[in-house]
Chains A and B, each alone.
Chain A
Amino acid sequence: MTAQAVEQRELAVVIGLEVHVQLETATKIFCGCSTRAAEDEEPNSRTCPVCLGLPGALPVLNEGAVEAAVKIGKALSADIPEQTTFHRKNYYYPDLPKNFQLTQYDAPICANGSIEISVEGTRREIGITRAHLEEDPGSLQHKGGSIDTADYTLINYNRAGTPLVEIVTEPDFRSPAETRAFLAKLEEVLEYLGVFDPTRDGSLRVDANISLVDADAIDADGGISADALESANRTEVKNISSHKGAEKALAYEVTRQRNAIQRGRAVEQETRHWDESRGITVSMRSKEEEKDYRYFREADIPPLAVSDWKERIPIPELPDARRDRFQTEYGLDAESASKLTSTKEVADFFEDVAESFDPDLAATWVADNLLGELNYRDMAITDVADRLDEFTRLIELVDAEEVTTKNAEEIVLRSMLDDGDDPDTIIDREGLGKADDDEIVGFVEAAIDENPDAVEDYHDGEDGALNFLVGQVMQKSRGSADPGTANQVLREQLDG
């Protein structure tokens, strides 16, 4: 094919992902060392003979990690096979103290699942080929330079042995934007399951396989033939650590491959490293081929037969289902339902509030006021998890008209977040308790005395005068007067 002909080709993007997820267990996958890094912990202070790979140590599988994997399998509508086994993946690199990684090979714990995503109104089903359990390696520091120019390497095995689930998708993505939507959805589901903490550093790591094929190789449903896939050279992009990073890295890679093809050059089949700070992918020295890993069964880990756990282990209602239910059960619009199901904690809190108060009031307070103010302060609901009863109390005070909505939003809620006080304390301190009628009469009399011009204007029939006087009353009451009552008392005094 000539370069001229190549330029005419319409190209389609084909992407598949491998997502490594750190599981939220208390201990490592094959030993009882804690997975929680203390602040400023010392290197190599959370290790034992198993995760250091000392001779004769016996790894024993963590039941919690298996449960988490089964939950993930259920959430992905995947099969949990009758039997699943562990293998050694052999390679020499010092992040593995044993010179092999304990992982799963031909019998992973989850197979044949799917996740539905929606990008710009188009729904796509992304196939999940498999998900398997494995151990995280330790972490390396390249001293005196970058990975290529360093003088020596320092190794910390505290992370070694942290349980990971590697989720492998079918090559079903047709754009970088779809991968971003998928990762956001996956993270949301994993959070709901309570098996994943996105705030942990490096808790989600992504590798992506990407190739460009002739657009006519893609059928109407976005499917692609095995032949077309096989004949296109693909690159594997490593070192992606966020949704946004995935979209950026893959957009870069699409452009790079498209340029190569349009200039009549072949795309080299290779592994590339995403350099986040420079915003480019760079070629990595080619690594081992799969056969070089010399996978073989780990004789120290007997097989698992946990397909029946699928029935036994419950999982919570997942975000999509909950979103739909919030719309029908509470009559919320799509946007509020979506905000209120963004995390499980928010959804649980909303339902808790909606049980005692009007759902619209609950939705406004949780979705708009609370989340809005938290967001403004770069906080999440998890940061105030132990104070949720105080927010319920504030909603109760608003509902009982003990404080005006305006004061509750603008003074009490903000002070609760900024100063850490409870709502009753703030209302007392600021004198925000709703003014009673006697107090309002006092404010009205003062407003009339101080503004004779406005009173005259009112009697001359000027519309704005009454509003001005109501404003004066509100100001004197520091917002604690009910505007309707103020209006009424003013009229009585002025007309009477």
Chain B
Amino acid sequence: MYLWSIETLTLRARLLHCMSESSVDGEAVKHVAELARIELDDEDVAEFAEQFDEILSYFDALDEVPAVDSETELVNVMRPDEVESSLSQVEALANAEETEDGYFKGPTVS
């Protein structure tokens, strides 16, 4: 868990750094939405900017956490190169909303 927190903080630091100010503006929200391929209207953008700010402020709580010992990290966790059984096509597609001829079907991409 310790490791995870460090990563999250780093992520936040990067996000803040790239916006070069402490509050989330509309441009940052639009950029993140574009990366996630989500369409937002201006109202959504304002709402999310506020929520992003709030969420990020939760992480300030971590600054209060005293240093803790991390668990010893595992190394070299590997498996032998041996074939195991796969799912059937029917099983693989079971949760898909749309399929065609054994394929997952989705919207156009570019």
Q: What is the interface of chain A, defined by CB distance below 8 A to chain B?
A: 25-27, 31-34, 42-49, 52, 54, 60-66, 83, 90-94, 140-142, 147-148, 150-157, 285, 288, 291-292, 294, 296-297, 299, 301-306
Contacts and interface: CB of A to CB of B under 8 A. Distances in A.
Contact of A297 (B3, B75, B82, B107): B3
B7 interface: yes
Of B11, B73, B89, B93, chain A has the most CB atoms within 10 Å of the CB of: B89
A49 B92 CA distance: 8
A125 to B, nearest CB: 33
Given A32-B84, A63-B79, A299 B89 contact: no
Interface in B72-110: 73-89, 92-93, 95, 100-110
A288 B10 CA distance: 20
Nearest to A302: B74
B61 interface: no
A-B interface, 8 closest residue pairs, ranked by CB to CB distance from nearest: A32-B84, A64-B81, A154-B103, A302-B74, A155-B104, A63-B78, A43-B102, A44-B92
B35 A91 contact: yes
A63 B35 contact: no
B18 interface: yes
B75 A305 contact: yes
Contact of B84 (A27, A65, A93, A157): A27
Nearest to B80: A63
Contacts of B75: 83, 302-305
Of B81, B82, B107, chain A has the most CB atoms within 10 Å of the CB of: B81
A147 B78 CA distance: 38
A412 B103 CA distance: 50
Contacts of A52: 87, 92
B63 to A, nearest CB: 20
Given A288-B35, A299-B3, A93 B92 contact: no
Nearest to B1: A299
Contacts of A46: 86
A100 B92 CA distance: 19
Contact of B76 (A25, A27, A285, A305): A305
Contacts of B106: 94, 152-155
A47 B92 CA distance: 7
B7 A140 contact: no
Contacts of B11: 294, 296
18 contacts: A25-B81, A26-B81, A32-B79, A33-B83, A44-B92, A46-B86, A48-B86, A65-B81, A91-B35, A92-B36, A153-B107, A154-B100, A156-B104, A157-B104, A294-B11, A296-B10, A302-B74, A302-B77
A477 B59 CA distance: 95
A133 to B, nearest CB: 12
A270 B67 CA distance: 45
A306 B18 CA distance: 36
A156 B76 CA distance: 31
A141 B107 contact: no
B103 A63 contact: no
A31 B85 CA distance: 10
Contacts of A148: 110
Nearest to B3: A299
Contacts of B104: 44, 94, 154-157
Contacts of A45: 86, 88-89, 92, 102
Contact of A291 (B14, B73, B95, B102): B14
Contact of B77 (A42, A60, A288): A60
Nearest to A296: B7
A288 B83 CA distance: 36
Given A47-B92, A302-B74, A302-B76, A42 B102 contact: yes
A205 to B, nearest CB: 19
A297 B5 CA distance: 11
B97 to A, nearest CB: 12
Nearest to B38: A92
Contacts of A294: 11, 14
B78 A153 contact: no
B4 interface: yes
Interface in B37-72: 37
B75 to A, nearest CB: 5
Given A45-B89, A52-B92, A152 B105 contact: yes
A61 B89 CA distance: 24
Given A44-B102, A154-B106, 6 more contacts: A32-B79, A44-B93, A152-B106, A156-B103, A296-B10, A299-B4
A89 to B, nearest CB: 12
